[in-house]
Structure 1
């Protein structure tokens, strides 16, 4: 088992928990196991903020725990089927964050009213409405992956969200940006209208200027620094990651 990947999964989980994505013991983040069809994902039964490297195990496409211990999450097909459909994806996040849930349930598309929302240009955030129940089977996982398409996120309407990235830190930042974008859009609505938003050209420009790969990595480092200041032992950090503030 790759200890550095396990540390990254644990860190991503705790970052998500600290950012308000926790839902008791539900929600999970995964990282692709290089050279196999398996994913590193936290054991079931732990809240995101409780995840340590030793609570991360390796689960294959058939749902077998092939390395590590503890019960696996029943929604593992979200992760394995998206990674099977998207070779460019190295990390997947699934959470039930409150503002994303509210925006998706309201039937509203994500609009580029904020910097955060422009991260998801040009594909936007498609809506998966095949079921609001858990994604328990490979067939349902394939359907979620198909609805995601080439986007960086998908709404699971009346359920939650999924975000993806070339690695788990990127997928984690995407999840935090999506919740922030949904909150900002709903706040706009609370002031009595849908106001204004960027057109397609400006949205693409803002994404390029604000959300470069280097900027996303800087956001990840910032989130980890904040987390370690509060609770995470430095020994859990992947080698080479800046941990001082």
Structure 2
């Protein structure tokens, strides 16, 4: 079942490790087959050096295991909440990468101070509020997804493909699992450069709107011209 998606999710999970975004087993990537309403996700607590495509777990959008001998990631309810609410995404990634966690633990959004961020994120990367005690004790992982959705109530999840969960860490998403990982790589890099930029100049403000729009839309949307054109 979903062998190609399993392979894609497996490769995306390994890419998290290759990019230095995970330690131990602190991360997971998933992908969705929208037609079937099924999600493939990394199994819980399995080390990356022994991880195989056949270890991936298939669940439905209610979290019921459809195929797989291992337990799905403990973050599965968070991923599912994002898939249910962000209908155009095809992959979700979660890490505890160091620099993104610095901002998440400081409960601070990442302002857009440069074009590196503007190429992928159309503005600041937001930070959610902290979960309440009731949310933590009742359905913690699902509540984590809900607080992300709440944070994007007035934001475009396609234009800002990532978030910091306060006191926790980053979640990113994209058109497929590897695209979600790409957003995680960019998020970690801009978290690091933003930290140092603010250290050097604490009074920095976001780049001008014109520069933000130029860099974002030259890569995204109908007028994009970055990269090579595909031949038809």
Q: Same fold (TM over 0.5)?
A: yes
Given the alignment of the two structures, is residue 187 of structure 1 paired with residue 196 of structure 2, yes or no?
Answer: yes
1:237: which partner in 2? none
Compare 93-102 and 62-71 and name the one that shifted more. Answer: 62-71
1:78: which partner in 2? 78
Alpha-carbon offset, residue 190 of structure 1: 3.2
1:21: which partner in 2? 21
1:121: which partner in 2? 122
Structure with greater helix percent = 1
CA 1:86/1:214 → structure 2, altered by over 3 Å: closer, same or farther? farther
Alpha-carbon offset, residue 159 of structure 1: 0.6
1:178: which partner in 2? 187
Residue deviations 1:15-47 (CA, integer Å, cap 9, x gap): 111112113212111101232333100111223
Given the alignment of the two structures, is residue 147 of structure 1 paired with residue 156 of structure 2, yes or no?
Answer: no
1:95: which partner in 2? 95
CA 1:27/1:215 → structure 2, altered by over 3 Å: closer, same or farther? farther
Give the Cα separation in 2 of the matches to 1:94 and 1:211.
23
1:240: which partner in 2? none
1:199: which partner in 2? 208
Q: TM (normalized to structure 2)?
A: 0.81
CA 1:178/1:214 → structure 2, altered by over 3 Å: closer, same or farther? farther
Compare 207-216 and 146-155 and name the one that shifted more. Answer: 207-216
CA 1:49/1:91 → structure 2, altered by over 3 Å: closer, same or farther? farther
Equivalent residues in 2 for 1:53-64, closer than 5 Å: 53-64=53-64
Equivalent residues in 2 for 1:233-244, closer than 5 Å: none
CA 1:136/1:197 → structure 2, altered by over 3 Å: closer, same or farther? closer
**3-state DSSP of counterpart to 1:117:** helix
Give the Cα separation in 2 of the matches to 1:66 and 1:194.
52
CA 1:49/1:156 → structure 2, altered by over 3 Å: closer, same or farther? farther
Give the Cα separation in 2 of the matches to 1:106 and 1:161.
13
Alpha-carbon offset, residue 102 of structure 1: 0.5
Q: TM (normalized to structure 1)?
A: 0.77
Q: Which runs of 5+ in 2 are unaligned?
A: none
Check whether the contact 2:130–2:167 (CA below 8 A) recurs between aligned residues.
no
Q: Which runs of 5+ in 1 are unaligned?
A: 218-245
Alpha-carbon offset, residue 107 of structure 1: 3.9
Compare 72-81 and 33-42 and name the one that shifted more. Answer: 33-42
